[in-house]
């Protein structure tokens, strides 16, 4: 448990001799602990059956995001709720005393298996612990994939034109350094259905294609690509499939085995609300031995430890793994089926309302190809100006892309009234600039 008195005594001791900024830091830390103490316990699952909205309204209280703020940019980063933050603090409290039973046990993650964290994650994403490496984010995992594969000059990597820089650039680097070729498929806006997507990829695969790399959910439009079909296609063509799933865990149910990909990377700090700096790389057991390490320390040649070899990254922050484990437990406690249903409901609501207001949907009309990220194009509305205006005048946070694309993310704790506030703000902005 958190020992608040300990922090308070630290704060008191600091008052006498520390600099003002240190005092301010300690004060704000106390403030955070005090806030966490005030957050109520999780609502009972049965409340969901009685009154779904009331259940999600209770869940909203788990987040530090101020009540008057509407956060519609979970696509960039999630906010860690109370159970996750508490677990991180507990992690520090437990490990930083340096009084572990085993004198060889230290709170640094890059030298060991850490199965107490890999096991719940493996169960959550549908693989074995030996196929998982705990890394710090999707960028790191994607870099591992691109750097780790043996490819020759002229070999092709096929990807979409909607990859995140943290997915695309590891391959660009390889192209510059080793002469591989990055080939991009232009995704329609919106993608119509899975068949259209499969045809596009099938037509783009050539004799030199070695890897198919794509985002399961793209950062650009939020389209949910038909990962299973695409990976099956790759397999039948004898090429490797690597999926960037930064947005997926915590947004929708995920089973990497079922998808059948060779590799999968992710950043659970987004939709699972894990701490920043907790990511993972999945490598199918049959493929592990084909991937070289990128970060290297003792253990990199030990094939017996399977994917653990990739998490030998040197000293890193173990309490964030405590937070990751808590975020998995929270999602399991709520139930991924309920979470996904809520995500779809709220995203569909905001999409429908924006279309009524004349926005052009870049989100697929096929429900299987969308979930909790909606994108719309609104000609005549400069997105950066709208973004700043909404934030400065209404405390509403959105994101988009120039010139006129708005990207709206709908995490489960969002209330309908939050979405309505955004819609009213959007209308006000338009009237004001008409």
Ligand X SMILES: Cc1ncc(COP(=O)(O)O)c(C=O)c1O
Those residues whose C-beta lies under 8 Å from the C-beta of residue 420, and which sit 6 or more positions away, are none
Task: Report, in Å, the least distance between residue 215 CB and ligand X.
Answer: 4
Rounded-to-integer distance, Cα 319 and Cα 357, Å:
45
> Which residue, among 61, 88, 414, 121, has the nearest Cα to 267 in the 3D structure?
121
Rounded-to-integer distance, Cα 250 and Cα 350, Å:
20
Measured from the CB atom, is 164 or 325 closer to ligand X? 164
Residues 71-94 as b/e (b if ≥16 CB within 10 A, e otherwise) read: bbbbbeebbbbbbbbbbbbbbeee
Measured from the CB atom, is 156 or 244 closer to ligand X? 244
Measured from the CB atom, is 219 or 377 closer to ligand X? 219
Task: Report, in Å, the least distance between residue 7 CB and ligand X.
Answer: 29
> Which residue, among 276, 246, 273, has the nearest Cα to 411 in the 3D structure?
273
Rounded-to-integer distance, Cα 339 and Cα 344, Å:
9
Task: Report, in Å, the least distance between residue 396 CB and ligand X.
Answer: 20
Q: What is the DSSP string of 69-130?
A: -EE--TTT-----HHHHHHHHHHHHHHTT---SSTT--SEEETS--HHHHHHHHHHHTS-GG
Measured from the CB atom, is 139 or 377 closer to ligand X? 139
Measured from the CB atom, is 167 or 190 closer to ligand X? 167
Rounded-to-integer distance, Cα 109 and Cα 58, Å:
34
Task: Report, in Å, the least distance between residue 292 CB and ligand X.
Answer: 20
Task: Report, in Å, the least distance between residue 365 CB and ligand X.
Answer: 22
Phi and psi angles of residue 253, each rounded to the nearest 5 degrees, phi first: -60, 145
Interface residues with ligand X (CB under 6 A) are 76, 137-139, 164, 166-167, 215, 219, 244, 246-247, 267
Spatial contact of 310 and 383, defined as CB atoms under 8 Å apart: no
Task: Report, in Å, the least distance between residue 161 CB and ligand X.
Answer: 13
Measured from the CB atom, is 80 or 137 closer to ligand X? 137
3-state secondary structure of 212: strand
DSSP structural state of residue 359: P
Task: Report, in Å, the least distance between residue 277 CB and ligand X.
Answer: 9
Measured from the CB atom, is 59 or 227 closer to ligand X? 227
Measured from the CB atom, is 78 or 107 closer to ligand X? 78
DSSP structural state of residue 408: E
> Which residue, among 129, 137, 130, has the nearest Cα to 76 in the 3D structure?
137
Rounded-to-integer distance, Cα 133 and Cα 266, Å:
11
Task: Report, in Å, the least distance between residue 173 CB and ligand X.
Answer: 15
- First and final C-alpha spacing in the chain: 55
Measured from the CB atom, is 160 or 209 closer to ligand X? 160
Task: Report, in Å, the least distance between residue 141 CB and ligand X.
Answer: 8
Task: Report, in Å, the least distance between residue 182 CB and ligand X.
Answer: 16
Measured from the CB atom, is 95 or 218 closer to ligand X? 218
Task: Report, in Å, the least distance between residue 77 CB and ligand X.
Answer: 8
Spatial contact of 58 and 81, defined as CB atoms under 8 Å apart: no
Q: What is the DSSP string of 238-289?
A: T-EEEEE-TT-BTTB---HHHHT-SEEEE-TTTTS-PPTT-EEEEE-HHHHT
Measured from the CB atom, is 405 or 421 closer to ligand X? 405
């Amino acid at each position: 448990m958190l020992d608040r008195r300990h922090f308070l005594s630290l704060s008191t001791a600091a008052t006498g001799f520390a600099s003002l900024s240190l005092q301010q830091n300690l004060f704000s830390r106390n403030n955070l602990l005090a806030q966490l103490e005030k957050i109520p316990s999780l609502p009972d699952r049965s409340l969901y059956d009685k009154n779904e909205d009331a259940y999600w309204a209770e869940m909203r209280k788990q987040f530090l995001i101020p009540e008057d703020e509407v956060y519609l940019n979970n696509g960039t980063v999630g906010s860690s709720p109370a159970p996750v933050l508490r677990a991180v603090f507990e992690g520090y409290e437990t490990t930083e005393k340096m009084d572990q039973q085993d004198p060889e046990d230290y709170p640094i993650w890059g030298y060991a298996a850490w199965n107490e964290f890999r096991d719940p994650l493996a169960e959550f994403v549908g693989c074995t612990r030996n196929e998982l490496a705990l890394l710090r984010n999707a960028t790191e995992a994607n870099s591992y994939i691109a750097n780790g594969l043996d490819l020759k000059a002229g070999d092709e990597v096929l990807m979409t034109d909607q990859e995140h820089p943290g997915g695309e650039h590891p391959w660009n680097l390889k192209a510059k350094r080793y002469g591989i070729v990055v080939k991009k498929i232009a995704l329609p806006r919106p993608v119509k259905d899975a068949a259209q997507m499969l045809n596009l990829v099938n037509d783009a695969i050539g004799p030199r294609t070695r890897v198919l790399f794509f985002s399961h959910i793209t950062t650009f439009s939020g389209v949910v690509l038909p990962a299973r079909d695409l990976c099956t296609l790759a397999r039948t063509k004898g090429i490797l499939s690597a999926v960037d799933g930064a947005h997926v865990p915590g947004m929708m149910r995920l089973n990497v085995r079922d998808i059948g990909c060779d590799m999968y990377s992710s950043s659970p700090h987004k939709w699972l609300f894990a701490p920043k700096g907790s990511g993972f790389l999945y490598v199918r057991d049959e493929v592990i031995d084909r991937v070289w390490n990128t970060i290297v320390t003792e253990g990199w040649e030990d094939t017996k430890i399977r994917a653990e070899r990739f998490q030998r990254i040197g000293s890193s922050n173990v309490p964030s793994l405590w937070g990751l484990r808590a975020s998995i437990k929270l999602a399991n406690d709520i139930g991924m089926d309920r979470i996904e249903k809520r995500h779809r409901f709220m995203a569909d609501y905001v999409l429908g309302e924006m279309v009524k207001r004349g926005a052009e949907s870049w989100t697929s009309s096929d429900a299987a190809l969308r979930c909790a990220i909606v994108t719309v194009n609104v000609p005549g509305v400069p997105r950066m100006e709208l973004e700043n205006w909404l934030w400065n005048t209404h405390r509403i946070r959105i994101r988009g892309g120039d010139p006129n694309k708005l990207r709206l993310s709908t995490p489960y704790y969002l209330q309908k009234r939050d979405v309505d506030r955004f819609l009213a703000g959007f209308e006000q902005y338009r009237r004001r600039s008409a």
